[in-house]
Amino acid sequence: KRRLVYSTRSALAIEKETPEENRPDTFLREADSHVTTSTVRSRFEKMIRDAQDTVCASIEAADGVGKFKEDVWSRPGGGGGISRVLQDGAVWEKAGVNVSVVYGVMPPDAYRAANPGADHKPGPVPFFAAGVSSVLHPKNPFAPTLHFNYRYFETDAPKDAPGAPRQWWFGGGTDLTPAYIFDEDVRHFHSVQKNACDKFDPSFYPRFKKWCDDYFVIKHRNERRGLGGIFFDDLNDYDQEMLLSFATECANSVVPAYLPIIERRKDTPFTEKHKAWQQLRRGRYVEFNLVYDRGTTFGLKTGGRIESILVSLPLTARWEYDHAPEEGSEEWKLLDACINPKDWV
Amino acid sequence: KRRLVYSTRSALAIEKETPEENRPDTFLREADSHVTTSTVRSRFEKMIRDAQDTVCASIEAADGVGKFKEDVWSRPGGGGGISRVLQDGAVWEKAGVNVSVVYGVMPPDAYRAANPGADHKPGPVPFFAAGVSSVLHPKNPFAPTLHFNYRYFETDAPKDAPGAPRQWWFGGGTDLTPAYIFDEDVRHFHSVQKNACDKFDPSFYPRFKKWCDDYFVIKHRNERRGLGGIFFDDLNDYDQEMLLSFATECANSVVPAYLPIIERRKDTPFTEKHKAWQQLRRGRYVEFNLVYDRGTTFGLKTGGRIESILVSLPLTARWEYDHAPEEGSEEWKLLDACINPKDWV
């Protein structure tokens, strides 16, 4: 099943977006939104838009100064998105929270390659993809960066094979990227992730924690960009309703996992040395996102909305030649934890 | 012939480097260096090491304060390199000038794919690659960044096909990336490139200028990272001696093309607004290098020396959401010239 999604992505070319004056109630096509509001498509769209509203309201309240700027866009054949960015606030240097709903068509070869058992030959397979994604970069070097993303992917039932099922997948995760380690913060963050997971399946947290540690690797440096969290992709071997509830729970856990840490660290005094180290770690963030992140590299290659995709990049970043923190220093401890992932709960 | 080099690169896994205390006279294998010093391998290595010395000496003299730090490394089976980096000087924020000499082995399939006419089946084909590469990022936003790279690639004659020729290619280029346009500077830079080209073939400058404009495109933004120069790759359809002389002439043209511009701009007064725009353009530089540059992405994927590869990144860079310079402003003029390449001579 992994290959199906990969192939689709590489074959997809997206139509250009049009800016919109107003937020529509839904980005679903009429055929999707009129039949019923109880489809997974419809409920997932509502979930990610609620998550966007909640996270943005919490960020603005905690920041006190910065306000989100909103850009709404749509595509001719249905679908669209809402990008919200807060830049140069009191607490956050750059905070982006985006939702998007995309309709596309998967080439038959990609579908067949992923379904060798299928004895019918499908035509092009239409699909639906929706997600919320966010990166929050604070100013204070002791306040961590947070990333989260929850997405749902579904193919239409093939027209030439009546009764053949739709295929669907969930993906997502929430992960924390500090420049300095406060054990208390990282343990709190991972505990919230574990609690969300444990409500659904005791195997989820260990499995998705490891998946996260394995995914966010800057391979050319053999280090992770941060201290992980949870990550999963192309998940469809559980009950669909359960996974929808699970994704919802994870999205709802973002604020309680993150905001208490920000409240504790946003006003911590710091020096230029602390700021320079944060900037070096931001450089690593840029390296991961531009070289390895599937969402970013996919978006760049298929002509997604560039400003929405690259809002994940920090406001500023730094690269020093051959920098190595002194052994035993606070900077070294962070780097060590990025190289050797730990169990935090 | 293009495909041959591409395939080789993607199939190559490089051995780890060892730091060395001293610069050796040559990185060539004994078999290469003892037979004769008149081979193209040997003369190309001497050329790039001379170019490294000359450029570094000129940069240090113009900077007045910064000194290059040198790292020498070698590989067990022969080959190695010299990385030189000047960081936080008076004029340059980061200046890297590297040479490397690499021995590798090309899988037979890659060779056959590129040589469909060959009626013999070769074993693995050993190859040799050497190059000088450099990125120079000044502090002053009115002083431009310069990049140059000259490289030579050669396969061994196949052992199982006596008399079959070696194959060889030259590649390289020199290009200028200002944050602000001074017509006088850009015209001077391109004139020096054109003069170097015209000594060899009147078709070179127009062809390699266009090749440069086509190569340094940040595709997801549909803009170039800078104002171009010359670029060529996998060149072997001219006389080998002529191309060696041409690459030498190009490398020797770096100092006269660049230093007069630096002398004019290094002390120009600037504001925070100018600095912020330079930082945004540095962000574009990072995007090009990490997402598109063949040398960088190849190096990252094959385990080259990371600090040498990423020395091309600026000390600092910036990403603002949805930034667009005011029409008619100096910033807009630069962006316009990056979108619509001009003829400068």
Q: In B, which residues are within 8 Å of A86 by CB distance?
A: none
Which of B220, B290, B298 has the highest number of chain A CBs within 10 A, making it the mutation to test binding with A?
A: B220
Do the Cβ atoms of A85 and B321 come within 8 Å? yes
Q: Report d(CA B255, CA B85) in Å as an integer.
A: 17
pLDDT at A8: 38
Q: Report d(CA B4, CA B117) in Å as an integer.
A: 13
Do the Cβ atoms of B283 and A219 come within 8 Å? no
Q: What is the per-residue pLDDT across A87-97, written as a single tens digit (0 to 9) for each? A: 999 999 999 99
Q: What is the per-residue pLDDT across A236-288, written as a single tens digit (0 to 9) for each? A: 999 999 999 999 999 999 999 999 999 999 999 999 999 999 999 999 999 99
Which of B73, B320, B323, B339 has the highest number of chain A CBs within 10 A, making it the mutation to test binding with A?
A: B320
Q: Report d(CA B22, CA B250) in Å as an integer.
A: 28
Instruction: Provide the shortest C-alpha distance from residue A69 to chain B (in Å).
Output: 10
Q: Report d(CA A248, CA A54) in Å as an integer.
A: 12
Q: What is the mean pLDDT of chain A?
A: 89
Do the Cβ atoms of A321 and B85 come within 8 Å? yes
Give the one of B85, B286, B309 whose C-beta lies nearest to A286's C-beta.
Answer: B286
Do the Cβ atoms of B219 and A300 come within 8 Å? yes
- Sequence-distant (6+) residues with CB within 8 A of A248 are A47
Torsion sign over Cα B273, B276, B282, B288: negative
Do the Cβ atoms of B322 and A85 come within 8 Å? yes
Which of A290, A291, A321 has the highest number of chain B CBs within 10 A, making it the mutation to test binding with B?
A: A321
Identify the weakest region by mean pLDDT among B91-100, B162-171, B328-337: B162-171
Question: What percentage of chain B carries pLDDT values higher than 90?
Answer: 71
Q: How far is CA B274 from the centre of its chain?
A: 27
pLDDT at B117: 63
Q: Which residues between 31 and 90 in chain A have a beta carbon less than 8 angstroms from any beta carbon of chain B?
A: 69, 71, 85, 87
Instruction: Provide the shortest C-alpha distance from residue B289 to chain A (in Å).
Output: 10
Question: What percentage of chain A carries pLDDT values higher than 70?
Answer: 87
Catalytic positions of A: 147
Total-model pTM: 0.89
Instruction: Provide the shortest C-alpha distance from residue B199 to chain A (in Å).
Output: 37
Choosing from B34, B120, B137, B147, the catalytic residue is B147
> Is residue B221 within 8 angstroms of chain A, CB to CB?
yes
> Is residue A306 within 8 angstroms of chain B, CB to CB?
yes
> Is residue B339 within 8 angstroms of chain A, CB to CB?
no
Q: What is the per-residue pLDDT across A32-63, written as a single tens digit (0 to 9) for each? A: 766 666 889 999 999 999 999 999 999 999 99
Exposed e or buried b for every residue in B194-222, given b needs 16+ CB within 10 A? bebbeebeeebbeebbebbbebbbbebbe
pLDDT at residue B10 tops 60: no
